[in-house]
Amino acid sequence: MGLALDPEWRLKPNQVHLTQIGSVAPAEVNQVSTWLADIVASQNLPQKALVLHQFDADMLGDRSKIDTRRPELSFVIHADGHGVPSVKMETYRRIVAGIPPRTWLGWKNFYTEDKPMFSPRKTMAVDPVPYFISYQ
């Protein structure tokens, strides 16, 4: 098991879901990762995944400020974009650029929002190849 943070849904007062895109600051990601890593260490648990969903640059702020050094965690930036293949690839290229060190890449295929949805073969041909793939 692991933990996923989806900044899209973290809105400010008076913002509206599906109209505005939420965000989580790197400082809060670091608070969560410290909390989770401390649990893993104190309970002598296996490494846990910390999955950070992202499709827009502002969702996680300045990712260089995200501390990915805790060995108790495996950090995953999960490219959460949808649409036609060219749009998905452009989103992925933006997400991949400047990814923090010690971070794995994730990719999401949407059954109904992708037109057409990437096949497993096409997904594995994405460069760089994602480590974590999900379907929604």
pLDDT digits (tens, 9 = 90+) for 74-121: 999 999 989 999 999 999 999 999 999 999 999 999 999 999 999 999
Q: Using an 8 Å Cβ cutoff, are 80 and 56 in contact? A: no
| Confidence at residue 3, expressed as pLDDT on a 0 to 100 scale | 97
What three-state secondary structure class fits 36?
A: helix
Query: Mean of the pLDDT values across residues 59-66?
Result: 96
Query: What pTM did the predictor assign?
Result: 0.93
Tell whether the model's pLDDT for residue 18 goes beyond 90.
Answer: no
For the chain, what is the mean pLDDT? 95
Residue 2 phi/psi, 5-degree rounding, is -145, -160
DSSP per residue, 106-121: EEEE-TTTSTTPPPHH
| Confidence at residue 132, expressed as pLDDT on a 0 to 100 scale | 96
Question: 70: pLDDT confidence band, cut at 50, 70 and 90?
Answer: very high
Q: CA–CA distance from 80 to each of 3, 37, 69, 125 (Å)? A: 16, 24, 24, 17
Burial class from Cβ neighbours inside 10 Å (0-12, 13-18, 19+) for residue 30 reads middle
Cis before 13 (ω within 30): no
Q: CA–CA distance from 20 to each of 11, 55, 63, 126 (Å)? A: 8, 13, 20, 29
Tell me which residue of 93, 12, 67 sits closest to 50, measured CA to CA: 67
Tell whether the model's pLDDT for residue 127 goes beyond 90.
Answer: yes
- Kindly give the pairing relationship between strand 48-54 and strand 132-135: unpaired
Tell whether the model's pLDDT for residue 31 goes beyond 90.
Answer: yes
| Confidence at residue 30, expressed as pLDDT on a 0 to 100 scale | 98
Tell whether the model's pLDDT for residue 17 goes beyond 90.
Answer: no
